[in-house]
Amino acid sequence: MLRGFTTVTFFADDMASARAWYTEVFEAEPYFVRDAGPEHAYLEWRAGDYQHEFGVLNSRFAPHQPAGRPSGAIIYWAVDDVEAAYRRLLDLGATTHDKPTERGPGFITASVTDPFGNILGVMYNQHYLEVLASPGS
């Protein structure tokens, strides 16, 4: 039985830059760092209402990743203001993947490509807010 997501993992060639960029995005240092010699092999942050784990793996350990183009699944992070979150990510150096778009009442999405070729999504999602507000969450 699937119980929910544990860790979302993105990839980067330049781990020092990835650490600096995602530290700025999450406004916190990674809580877990695994080094491989003089460089980071893996970095992980906790983020959001449920402290979900977000990791960045050194691309050197993931040779199946396509070079030079956005890759991976799009993980949408819940935000209260899609336009503001999207603009902030662009200001931090991301590029547009998909501009803010209303997908129906209560659902707005946008996505960017981070400086390392991963697609990062943000979403206002009414269902997320309903689950968050429900008893026992």
Range ranked top by mean pLDDT from 8-12, 20-24, 99-103: 20-24
Q: Does 1-61 carry CATH code 3.60.70.12? A: no
Query: Using an 8 Å Cβ cutoff, are 72 and 118 in contact?
Result: yes
- Per cent of the chain over pLDDT 90 is 47
- Eight-class DSSP state of 4: -
Half-sphere exposure of 115 (CA within 13 A, CB side): 17
Backbone angles phi, psi at 61, to 5 degrees: -95, 5
| Cα separation, 71 vs 77, whole angstroms | 17
Task: Classify domain 72-137 by CATH architecture.
Answer: Roll (3.10)
Instruction: Report angle CA 4, 74, 101 to the nearest 5 degrees.
Output: 115
pTM value surpassing 0.85: no
Half-sphere exposure of 13 (CA within 13 A, CB side): 11
Binned at pLDDT 50, 70 and 90, residue 106 comes out as: confident
Tens digit of each residue's pLDDT (9 = 90 or more) over 66-104: 666 666 668 888 899 999 999 999 999 999 999 999 988
Three-state secondary structure along 65-129?
Answer: CCCCCCEEEEEEEECCCHHHHHHHHHHCCCEEEEEEEEEECCEEEEEEECCCCEEEEEEEEHHHH
Enumerate the domain spans of the chain: 1-61, 72-137
Query: Using an 8 Å Cβ cutoff, are 15 and 40 in contact?
Result: yes
